[in-house]
Chain A
Amino acid sequence: MINDALQNRRTIIAIIFSAVIVLFIIRLFTIQVIETKYKEGADSNAFLRKTIYPPRGLIFDRNHTLLVFNKPAYDINLIIREIHDLDTLAFCQALNIDKAFFINRMAEIRDRHRNPGYSTYTPQVFMTQLSSEDIATIQQSMYKFPGFYIQNRTLREYTYASAAHELGSIGEVSQSRIDSDDYYIPGDYAGRDGIESTYEEQLRGEKGVEILLRDAKGRIKGRYDNGKEDIAPKAGKNLTLTLDIRLQLLAEKLLNGKMGSVVAIEPKTGEILAMASNPSYDPSVMVGSQRSKNYIQLMKDPTKPLLNRATQAQYSPGSSFKPVQALVLQQMGGITSHSMFACNGPESYPIKCTHHHGSPVSLLDAIEQSCNPYFWNAFKTTLEKDGYGEKNAIFRKNFNEWEDRVKSFGLGRKFTDSDIYDQSRGFIPSEKFYNRVYRSKTGWRAITIRSLSIGQGEVLVTPLQLANTQAIIANQGFYITPHLNKSDSMLKHIHWVKVDPKYFPIVNEGMWRVFEYGTGSAYKISNISMCGKTGTVQNSHGKDHSIFVGFAPRENPQIAVAVVIENAGFGATWAAPIASLMMEQFIKGKIERTDLLNRISTSVTNYHVKER
Chain B
Amino acid sequence: MSRNVSIKYALDWTTIALYVILIVIGWLNIYGASYNFDQSTIFDFDQRAGKQFIWILTAFGLGGMLLLIDAKMYSIFAYFIYAATILLLIATIFLAPDIKGSRSWLVFGPISFQPAEIAKMATALALAKYMSSYNYKLKHWKDLIPPGLLIFIPFALIVLQQETGSALVFIAFLFMLYREGMKGIVLVLVSFAIVLFIVIIRFSIVPLGDNQGTLGMVIAMSLILLIQFFYAFIYMRDHKEALILLGGIAFIALISYILNSWYIINYNYVGIGTAIASSFYWFIIELIKRFKRYWFIIFLSIGSVIFSFSADYLFQKVLEPHQQVRIKVVLNMEDARLGAGYNVNQSKIAIGSGGFWGKGYLNGTQTKLKYVPEQDTDFIFCTVGEEHGFVGSTAVLLLYWFLLMRLLRIAERQRESFNRIYAYCVSSIIFFHLMINVGMVLGIMPVIGIPLPFFSYGGSSLWGFTILLFILLRLDASRLEHAW
Contact = CB atoms under 8 A, between A and B. Distances in A.
B415 interface: yes
Interface string A203-241: 000000000011111000110100000000000000000
A109 B444 CA distance: 37
B408 to A, nearest CB: 6
A13 interface: yes
A39 B390 contact: no
B178 A32 contact: no
A33 B439 CA distance: 18
B353 A38 contact: yes
B390 A29 contact: yes
Interface string B245-270: 00000000000000000000000000
A41 interface: yes
Interface of A: 1-3, 6-7, 9-10, 12-14, 16-18, 20-21, 23-25, 27-29, 31-33, 35, 37-39, 41-43, 45-47, 213-217, 221-222, 224
B442 A6 contact: no
B349 A25 contact: no
Contact-residue bracket for chain B: 35 or more
Nearest to B444: A27
A224 B348 CA distance: 22
Contacts of B420: 3
B371 A32 contact: no
Interface of B: 36-37, 175, 178-181, 184, 345-346, 348-356, 365-366, 369-371, 385, 389-390, 393-394, 397-398, 400-401, 404-405, 408, 411-412, 415-417, 420, 424, 427, 431, 434-435, 438-439, 442, 444
Contacts of A2: 415
B417 A1 contact: yes
A41 B415 contact: no
Contacts of B353: 38-39, 41-43
**Complex A-B, nearest 6 residue pairs according to Cβ-Cβ distance, in ascending order:** A38-B352, A42-B353, A46-B365, A41-B349, A215-B369, A32-B390
Contacts of B184: 9, 12
A216 B398 CA distance: 32
A14 B401 CA distance: 10
Given A24-B442, A221-B37, A31 B351 contact: yes
B37 A6 contact: no
B431 A17 contact: yes
Contact of A221 (B355, B369, B411, B435): B369
Given A17-B408, A46-B371, 7 more contacts: A14-B404, A17-B404, A21-B401, A32-B355, A38-B353, A45-B349, A217-B370
Contacts of B348: 31, 38
A224 to B, nearest CB: 8
A221 B368 CA distance: 10
A399 to B, nearest CB: 73
Given A10-B411, A28-B390, A20 B352 contact: no
B371 A9 contact: no
A41 B354 CA distance: 12
A6 B431 contact: no
A21 B349 contact: no
Contacts of B346: 45, 216
Contacts of B442: 24, 27-28, 31
Contacts of A42: 349-350, 352-353, 365-366
B179 A6 contact: yes
* Residue of B345, B353, B394 with most chain A CB atoms under a 10 A cut-off: B353
A13 B175 contact: yes
Nearest to B175: A13
A282 B398 CA distance: 74
A32 B356 contact: yes
Contacts of A28: 351, 385, 390, 393-394, 397, 442
B370 A24 contact: no
* Residue of A2, A7, A17, A28 with most chain B CB atoms under a 10 A cut-off: A28
A551 B455 CA distance: 89
B446 to A, nearest CB: 15
* Residue of B365, B427, B442 with most chain A CB atoms under a 10 A cut-off: B365
Nearest to B38: A222
Contacts of A214: 369
B379 to A, nearest CB: 13
Given A41-B349, A42-B365, A13 B397 contact: no
A449 to B, nearest CB: 74
Nearest to B37: A222
* Residue of A16, A18, A32, A45 with most chain B CB atoms under a 10 A cut-off: A32
* Residue of A1, A38, A43, A214 with most chain B CB atoms under a 10 A cut-off: A38
* Residue of A12, A14, A17, A27 with most chain B CB atoms under a 10 A cut-off: A17
A21 B390 contact: no
Contacts of B356: 32-33
A41 B404 CA distance: 35
B415 A10 contact: no
A217 to B, nearest CB: 8
Contacts of B389: 32
Given A13-B178, A24-B438, A45 B371 contact: yes
A32 B393 contact: yes
